[in-house]
Amino acid sequence: MGEFIKEFWTFLKVRKKFWLLPIVLFLGSLGGLIVMTEGSAIAPFIYTLF
């Protein structure tokens, strides 16, 4: 996992695509939130946001 992050950061620096970083972080946190709340009591509150 660390190698992927290092390579992704190098890609962002070389190509000067720093605007991709917030998008990737948002999608990663949203995916993590969905995985963590799957089947829990918090799920109905999360689904009302969307």
- At residue 39, the pLDDT reads 66
CA torsion, ordered 4, 5, 9, 15, to nearest 10 deg? 30
Q: What is the pLDDT along the chain (50 residues), one digit of tens a residue?
A: 789 989 989 998 999 989 999 999 999 998 888 787 776 666 677 777 76
Residue whose entry in the numeric block shows the structure tokens 């963590």:
36
Q: What pLDDT shows up at residue 45?
A: 72
